[in-house]
Chains A and B, each alone.
Chain A
Amino acid sequence: MSGRVLIYMTIGYPSIEEQIDFVRGLDSTYVTGIELGYPSSNPRYDGPVIRQTHNPEIRKDRNAIRTLFEECGQIVHSVTSLMYYSDYIQEDHLIDFLAGCGARDFIVPDLLIDYAQKTESLIHELENSDSRYVPFFNAATPDRVISNIEGRTSSWIYYGLQPSTGINMPYDIGAVVGRAIECLPRREINFGFGIRNREDVSRIIEAGGSGIAVGSVLVNDLRDRNFNSAYNKISEFSEVIKSAV
């Protein structure tokens, strides 16, 4: 699948009610996937912008979380859940709960870094819940790790362009995207972490990327309830992708 636009939101930021309002206003012709971050007690691989959106207290309101997933499911075909493994091991039946809410794809950003030896058992558990593990790779992922995980999974790939969300280190987008495609020629790869403007989006797609995921760039709009600004950014990115594709 080519030309995807995924948007990332941490569940409950600024509040679930406001997120639902925001989601209802999304145009499904522009947004092809929504990624909902399960609020983490230690979102250590996020940058400062996304870190401030995590509030673990929100986890208590499971009905509201379920409603948010359902609303997202009305807009997009695919709702992805992002959860830290460190939270998963602290909370019983978390995968069952999120899968029950409608999440089919799971991104686990700390799995390959801090819990690599647990990868096989997590993939197995997700498969038992009719869900898929979405590998999260970045420039620091060694070739043999990419190769091993590729052979064990069938989903799309999330590729982080930066060492942390919202960080803007100097790098060559074309080279990073090119390397990812070279390692994973048969997989849909969506790129995220640090995408700020239409130029970034254009370069990713021109280099062969399947799509993009944006999150940090929307946080201030959500915080300020300036939903139109967020919608405009999403439609702008989507138009850039469509014209590039």
Chain B
Amino acid sequence: MYQSTNSEILPEYWYNVIPDLPEQLSPPRDSRQDVSSIDLLNRILPKKLLEQEFSFKRTERIPDEVLQAYEQIGRPTPLIRARNLEKKLNYSGHIFYKYEGATATGSHKINTAIPQAFFARDEGTKEVVTETGAGQWGTATALAASLAGLRSTVFMVRTSYRQKPLRQRIMSLYGARVEESPSEHTEFGKSFLARDPEHPGSLGIAISEAVEYALTNNCTYLLGSVMNSVVTHQSVIGLETKKQLEILGEAPDTMIGCVGGGSNFSGFVFPFIGTEAKMIASTAAEVPKFSKGKFGYDLIDTAGILPQLKMYSLGADFVPERIYAGGLRYHGAAPALSMLISNGRIKTDEVSEGEVIQAMKLFANTQGVVPAPESAHAVATLVRYLRNSDSQRETIVMNISGHGLLDLSIFDKGEK
């Protein structure tokens, strides 16, 4: 058993919400009739990850090596009372934020990249491949692969690739090969470039490229979000938050986080699912999956290689606006989260990029932390929530899923 000085807060187990859901989660479905795309997962994902993907177990022991790595990259992350923000917003209740930006890679993504890379290494792979939108998942994969002694390749959505050169730098520093998506390295990427050489790319396309690359190069694909096993790993955020609040003698009345694929938000709130806490999932108005998307089976990736999941989706061929919060451009959301939104347990909010930029400034000026544009959606939703709420007494906890120090060019265009 790994002995940690942080053992009071760092959990020994991940939490899997499946046994505690109100209804049965719809299983993945094959995208094609003749072959099983579910079976295909056996060829590209770590076996241990698949075991966790379809697990009924409420808790999953975190391997000692992963716990040790968690500590090395900055876990537990701080839970901070945002006193200056409370004052600025003239709020007499308590506002806390869980700060995932304090990890080595600056976001929550490392929480699942580490176990996945270690599982892949243990199963004999030499190289891992993945996609990235804003660059946070790619950065986490690059570091996790490096810690595991593996090579890594990252397909980065073109819009972000060009907007965020520093993200490429840091991934390269960790040893990753970073490719712009759509790319010439896969048949799927080539097909988009043939139609539009300046195609902006999308996360769905980048996923398809990474999966094709994994299949043709005999390497292991790592998952950044959406799938249940990833959400289970991210429960470390909520479990730590729970302990930290207990120590402070607090309990959340309302929890707010941002949603791209849904892993940081789900990992943050699911450990509280049995409580009375209100939960609000904040996402981009430019990617209105919860208000304009459909709740039904849809493809994870644009190419339809992976299975279909029952989730809120704008369609796998959805090409989002070039908003800066690349991590929120994904067309779908995690199935368990989608179910809980569908049945009303979790509420949603959609905020525009203009509001997000204001929220970044507000948070930076009050708390000194520049949140990632994705995470600033939670701040914008908090501001809206307080504006429309009669209560001045609540304890509100936000997840700031990452920092925005590599995203400062969002301010280049001046005020929006």
Chain B residues with CB under 8 Å of A170's CB are: 42, 47-48, 50-51
- Report A137-166 residues with CB < 8 Å from chain B CB: 138-145, 162-164, 166
Q: Does B385 contact A (CB under 8 A)?
A: no
Question: How many A-B residue pairs lie within 8 Å, measured between CB atoms?
Answer: 85
Q: Does A114 contact B (CB under 8 A)?
A: yes
Smallest beta-carbon distance B374→chain A, Å? 29
How many chain A residues touch B (CB < 8 A): the figure is: 30
Smallest beta-carbon distance A237→chain B, Å? 23
A162 — nearest CB in chain B belongs to which residue? B54
Query: Is B28 a contact partner of A145 (Cβ separation < 8 A)?
Result: no
Q: Does B73 contact A (CB under 8 A)?
A: no
B55 — nearest CB in chain A belongs to which residue? A139
How far, in angstroms, from A141 to B23 measured CA to CA in the complex?
A: 7
Query: Is A113 a contact partner of B26 (Cβ separation < 8 A)?
Result: yes
Query: Is A145 a contact partner of B55 (Cβ separation < 8 A)?
Result: no
Q: Does A112 contact B (CB under 8 A)?
A: yes
Smallest beta-carbon distance A170→chain B, Å? 4
Query: Is A48 a contact partner of B56 (Cβ separation < 8 A)?
Result: no
Chain A residues with CB under 8 Å of B53's CB are: 169
Q: Chain A interface: which of B14-22, B163-171, B252-260?
A: B14-22
Q: Does B93 contact A (CB under 8 A)?
A: no
| Contact-size category for B | 20 to 34
Chain B residues with CB under 8 Å of A114's CB are: 26
Q: Chain A interface: which of B29-37, B124-132, B153-161, B394-402?
A: B29-37
Chain A residues with CB under 8 Å of B34's CB are: 48
Chain B residues with CB under 8 Å of A144's CB are: 20, 22
With A47-B36, A168-B42 as known contacts, state yes or no: A139 contacts B56, CB within 8 Å.
yes
Q: Does B24 contact A (CB under 8 A)?
A: yes
Chain A residues with CB under 8 Å of B55's CB are: 139, 171
How far, in angstroms, from A110 to B26 measured CA to CA in the complex?
A: 9
Chain A residues with CB under 8 Å of B35's CB are: 48
Query: Is A142 a contact partner of B57 (Cβ separation < 8 A)?
Result: no
Q: Does B193 contact A (CB under 8 A)?
A: no
How far, in angstroms, from A175 to B52 measured CA to CA in the complex?
A: 13
Query: Is A140 a contact partner of B39 (Cβ separation < 8 A)?
Result: no
Query: Is B27 a contact partner of A140 (Cβ separation < 8 A)?
Result: yes
- Report A166-191 residues with CB < 8 Å from chain B CB: 166-172, 175-176, 179
With A48-B30, A169-B42, A170-B47 as known contacts, state yes or no: A141 contacts B24, CB within 8 Å.
yes
Q: Which B residues are within 8 Å of any A CB, using their own CB?
A: 18-30, 33-36, 38-39, 41-42, 47-48, 50-51, 53-57
Q: Which are the 3 A-B pairs with shortest beta-carbon distances? A: A139-B56, A170-B47, A163-B27
Q: Which A residues are within 8 Å of any B CB, using their own CB?
A: 44-45, 47-48, 51, 112-114, 116, 138-145, 162-164, 166-172, 175-176, 179
